[in-house]
Amino acid sequence: MSAEETSTVDPASPAFNPHSQPITLFYPGGTNVSLPLTVYDFYKLKALEWSIMFAVQIGACGILLILLTFLTNAKKRKTFLHACNMFALVAAIIRASLSLCYYIGPFFDTYTYFSGDYTNFPYTPRYVSVASTATGLLLQIVIHIALIIQVRVVYTSVKAKLLITLLAAVIALLSVSLFAIVTVQSGMATLSLKAYPGGPIYDAAKAVLAASICFYCLIFVLKLGYAIYQRRVLGLPKFGPIQIIFTVGCQTMIIPGTHLIFLSPVPP
């Protein structure tokens, strides 16, 4: 946003719209920059939406963490998969909390955000934002590990397990590698107080992540679909829990994939 002189506004004019009138921010040197109230309202509303989203993530993951702690039997608590799930929930809470600090901290201060003036900006908020992105990468790694373990359980054949594991590992490594690059780029941009531009690597990272989600869901859906087919052969066509899980699995395979590919929110 470039500095410009305050435009003359005539409140008595019939064309005057008080909801879109400009507000003026002054730099220490005396120059100023003007922006319409509509722009201010738009970004503040977006900040509120993202804050609500992160707050919901904290609450949902916290409740699920408590439920898993008390409802999981002692035998399953000792498994590596349970440890991954618990760690993922803790990491998700930490990431959402750190991301929330972006919108309630100095990064989203009205003057700083809309003027682009980061003079004497403290380093602590920068480190918090970098930690948020790094925690997101760690969360993705744990989720991939947990999902690879679960897809191995779906098939009993040794060859099928090996093939699925190798394919899932390749997809996971590619996804994590791309997001590791994005994490470094985003961290460097944050420390230097520059906006992260995104670009082909970020788009590719989201596309591969969407493909990996679709892949894991496809493995589960195919197995459930075959189980439903076997039930029909045995004369058990009743709509039950397996059919419900199958339907939800199909939705989970499609909806998050389209969301990750076609929406490009810049990571905070």
Helix/strand/coil (H/E/C) assignment for every residue in the chain: CCCCCCCCCCCCCCCCCHHHCEEEEECCCCCEEEEEHHHHHHHHHHHHHHHHHHHHHHHHHHHHHHHHHHHCCHHHHCCHHHHHHHHHHHHHHHHHHHHHHHHHCHHHCHHHHHHCCCCCCCCHHHHHHHHHHHHHHHHHHHHHHHHHHHHHHHCCCHHHHHHHHHHHHHHHHHHHHHHHHHHHHHHHHHHCCCCCCCCHHHHHHHHHHHHHHHHHHHHHHHHHHHHHHHHHHCCCCCCCHHHHHHHHHHHHHHHHHHHHHHCCCCCC
- Planar angle of CA 123, 124, 125, nearest 5 degrees: 95
Residue 106 burial (CB count, 10 A): 16
Burial of 64 (0-12, 13-18, 19+ CB in 10 A): middle
Instruction: Between 104 and 16, name the one with better pLDDT.
Output: 104
Give the gyration radius of the chain's Cα atoms. 24
Please report the pLDDT score of residue 258 as a whole number. 47
Instruction: State which of 116-120, 174-178, 235-239 shows the largest mean pLDDT.
Output: 174-178
Could you tell me the pTM of the whole model? 0.79
Q: pLDDT band at 94, cuts 50/70/90? A: very high
Q: What is the pLDDT of residues 198-249, one digit of tens each?
A: 788 988 888 888 888 888 878 877 777 766 676 666 666 666 565 556 565 6
Please report the pLDDT score of residue 180 as a whole number. 93
| Lowest mean pLDDT across 58-67, 134-143, 190-199 | 190-199
pLDDT for residue 259 is more than 50: no
Q: For residue 200, how far is the Cα from the chain centroid?
A: 18
Please report the pLDDT score of residue 10 as a whole number. 65
Contact between 98 and 128 (Cβ < 8 Å) = yes
Question: Would you kindly state where each structural domain of the chain is located, as residue ranges?
Answer: 16-121, 155-268
What number is the average pLDDT over the span 244-266?
Answer: 52
